[in-house]
Amino acid sequence: MSHRSIRDIDLTGKKVFIRVDFNVPLDENGTEVTSDTRIRAALPTIQLALRKGAAVILASHLGRPKGRPKSTMSLDPIAPLLEKLLGQHVTKTGDCVGDEVNHLVAQMSPGDIVLLENLRFHAAEEANDPDFSAQLASLCDVYVNDAFGSAHRAHSSTEGIARLVHKKAIGLLMEKELEYLTMALSKPERPYIAIVGGAKISGKIDVLDRFLELADKILIGGAMTYTFLHAQGIAIGGSLLEKDKLDVARTIINKAGDKLVLPKDHVITAKLQADANTRVVDGYNEPIPSNMKGVDIGPATVDFYKKTLANARFIIWNGPMGVFEIPEFARGTLAMAHAIAESSGLSIVGGGDSEKAIRTAGVETSITHISTGGGASLEFLAGHRLPGIEVLSKTT
Ligand code: AMP
């Protein structure tokens, strides 16, 4: 499937609606942006549109306001930051549709930027409501989607609007995402190692299936380990278990043979809190006691995974190796971040938690591509359709 890029469209004198991903973390009052990574990531597309002579309308969701205006989820704090980064005035609207927006957009000249208020202040956005989509579409001549993280959702700003605007394209960030994720599905250099962690097998079943076809090894970490171990009759104590996924786990184990690599040892604790006492067990000779749970991969696993990654030519990682939010249980996850960074192969990291680990480890510049969309990248890799991308596929 190919997609027209913003590079290939004439934008001179056009009003361009860019769906960006400004779903940034704010402080608890909603007044300060605590990480501007996503805003910076959107700049190349915005700057290109301006250079090409467009007037730019920016739209995004932020958080989950549940269809109602919520002061702590306003895009207000983003406008001054954008002004600083772009070195020009940004007009922030009080809503994303309605008279004020129509009036301001009607008056825009090339080079102007309008930032709309949070799209999800209207329930119609997530409902992909045709009237709401039409109101958004009426603002622009050209539609550009640069919000990969929302592309797996058929919402008004990602799907409905794109059906109504004739000229449409993907932005530079979206283009980069598709390029790298497509690489993971084609035939990259081998050994191809996938690292899959996180809380649950559910949500990652299809992607695990796909990695069974594509990768040479799948290194497992995180709580999903324990459903796999329990499915083989190994005692997991009080570790997280998805009882309803035991059959799925058995099917994956049987299909995988030695491709699926489970942790050799575990960091266990009785309490999920900082400064809790921890112990390392291998789980086979020394089972996890019933009052304790696995919270990280153990040192022998870290060593083994590091050795496996050292020879890799292509690495893809999604999901933490343990409860990495608590520093005592973050060692395995951070060790993976460093091991991936040290590898001379290509590396793709997806998912908010893995991305956070990469940044905590300070190795972002040593990763080939950090995906901006956790859910969307899993859907893409699993081979599911992404409505926000499908609607932009080239027909002519
Ligand atoms: P996911 O969204 O499925 O990628 O899961 C991410 C979450 O999994 C993180 O919040 C981790 O704290 C959690 N997690 C990872 N390992 C474990 C574990 N062994 N026990 C409980 N939670 C875990």
- Verify whether ligand 1 is closer than 6 Å to residue 356 (CB atom): no
Amino acid identity of 108?
Answer: M
Expressed in angstroms and rounded, the spacing between residue 357 Cα and the centre of ligand 1 is: 13
Expressed in angstroms and rounded, the spacing between residue 161 Cα and the centre of ligand 1 is: 35
Task: Name the pTM for this structure.
Answer: 0.91
- Verify whether ligand 1 is closer than 6 Å to residue 325 (CB atom): yes
- Verify whether ligand 1 is closer than 6 Å to residue 323 (CB atom): yes
Structure tokens at 141: 């001549």
Point out the ligand 1 atom lying closest to the alpha carbon of residue 326: 12
Whole-angstrom distance, CA of residue 288 vs CA of residue 280? 9
Confidence (pLDDT) at 203 = 84
Confidence (pLDDT) at 68 = 97
Amino acid identity of 196?
Answer: V
What is residue 156's DSSP assignment? I
Q: Ligand 1: which residue has its CA nearest to atom 10?
A: 323
3-state secondary structure of 280: strand
Q: Ligand 1: which residue has its CA nearest to atom 11?
A: 323
- Verify whether ligand 1 is closer than 6 Å to residue 200 (CB atom): yes
Point out the ligand 1 atom lying closest to the alpha carbon of residue 319: 4
Low-confidence ranges of the chain (pLDDT < 70): 1, 395-396
| Phi-psi map region of 111: left, alpha, beta (phi>0 left; psi -120 to 50 alpha) | left
Measured in residues, the chain has a length of: 396
Expressed in angstroms and rounded, the spacing between residue 189 Cα and the centre of ligand 1 is: 30
Q: Which residues are catalytic?
A: 38, 200, 352, 375
Spatial contact of 21 and 149, defined as CB atoms under 8 Å apart? yes
C-alpha distances (whole Å) from 12 to each of 20, 147, 160 are: 20, 23, 25
Whole-angstrom distance, CA of residue 7 vs CA of residue 10? 8
First vs last Cα of the chain: how many Å apart? 12
- Verify whether ligand 1 is closer than 6 Å to residue 322 (CB atom): yes
- Verify whether ligand 1 is closer than 6 Å to residue 240 (CB atom): yes
Spatial contact of 320 and 357, defined as CB atoms under 8 Å apart? yes
Expressed in angstroms and rounded, the spacing between residue 264 Cα and the centre of ligand 1 is: 18
Spatial contact of 133 and 164, defined as CB atoms under 8 Å apart? yes
Expressed in angstroms and rounded, the spacing between residue 344 Cα and the centre of ligand 1 is: 28
Whole-angstrom distance, CA of residue 41 vs CA of residue 260? 34
Expressed in angstroms and rounded, the spacing between residue 346 Cα and the centre of ligand 1 is: 25
Cα–Cα nearest to 135, from 99, 85, 107, 104: 99
Kindly report the number of other CB atoms within 10 A of residue 37's CB atom. Answer: 14
Point out the ligand 1 atom lying closest to the alpha carbon of residue 323: 12
Confidence (pLDDT) at 395 = 65
- Verify whether ligand 1 is closer than 6 Å to residue 294 (CB atom): yes
User: What are the residues whose beta carbons fall under 8 Å from the beta carbon of 256, sequence distance 6 or more?
Assistant: 212, 218
CA 51 centroid distance within chain:
28
Confidence (pLDDT) at 334 = 98
- Verify whether ligand 1 is closer than 6 Å to residue 241 (CB atom): no
Point out the ligand 1 atom lying closest to the alpha carbon of residue 200: 3
- Verify whether ligand 1 is closer than 6 Å to residue 171 (CB atom): no
Whole-angstrom distance, CA of residue 38 vs CA of residue 359? 13
Helix ranges (DSSP H) in the chain: 37-51, 78-86, 99-106, 123-126, 130-137, 161-164, 172-185, 205-214, 224-231, 246-256, 299-310, 331-342, 352-361, 374-382, 387-390
Confidence (pLDDT) at 1 = 66
